[in-house]
Structure 1
Amino acid sequence: TKAYNNPDSQCNRRQFYSSINYDEEKIRQLGMILNQITADTTNRGQLHIDITNAGRAYSQFLFERVIDKTKEVQEKLNLLPLKDLKKITIKIDAIIKLKLLWQNTVDNIINDYNNDTNGIKTDSQKLIEHIKEKYGKILKQKIPRIGIIASEINKILKTLK
């Protein structure tokens, strides 16, 4: 995979930054944390990828695709049964809640780092263990559920083609 600072990664960067509302301070601080994790090739495992995927791939990319697909069939949405429209609304709300969970998780990781919780600011192994223990389930299981929800929405929308 290419680094986010690679010119070819412009789209990935935009999606990642968008996932945290283009908040420059958060982008800077999370970037420092990710750099510290990425530099520790011994302990990092997939953590840096789990974090960036949670934000870019799940929280932003799949959300944008669902919105784009909904816009594509917007004129035909009234042809769907009411129960399907309700399902779509409920599922989009679920995705929005998971996007908020991502944003809150970023805030919590940054706060833990700034408060030097358990000495994580200067010890990358402690930082990695802390994030895995406290946020691993959110990053690897909860936020990726956006993918399942998005495909359920797309399945309903495909009936309109």
Structure 2
Amino acid sequence: DFALFTLGASAIGTGIIGGVFGLFLFLPYISQKNKNELYCFSKINSFFYTPAFRILYFSAIYVLYEWVKSSGFLGYPWGLLSETVFHFPILMQIADITGTYGVSFLLAFINSFLAEILLFSFKNSFRKEKHFFYNSFKNITFVLLALFICTTIYGTYKYTKKMIPQKYLSTI
């Protein structure tokens, strides 16, 4: 009986949390783009419509969603994005600095970057603004490569480093 309560309540709780965070993902795009002529040309408004903002925003909101889903009374600490790379121990070594949510952020960042590239390549509505979007992709590609290279270098260093035990356990 108790197991049925926890599974059912957790499913409902996860559905509610997913719905709320789905609204947070949509939040920057609720307002009309051309509402105010002067506002359209502002740097802040134009940043909200760049792929770089969408990639960073999605990654941050997704990691926040994982944290909320995994904590609390009905939280499930499994099913995280970082658990998908357990076959790649070099990538998992960064978790001793950032925790599992740092690995999840890196994976969400990579996946949202690839999704933005696919969306950009399949849409024809960006023909006039290609230069602007190419510059945005160039910057976010540099950030992604820097994060991935630093993670790989650190992971290789930590994975190949000989570990010396600090204490020994005497058993009878």
TM-score (norm 1): 0.42
TM-score (norm 2): 0.40
Greater percentage in helix: 1
Structure number with bigger Rg: 2
Using CA pairs under 8 Å that are at least 6 residues apart, name the structure with larger relative contact order, 1 or 2: 1
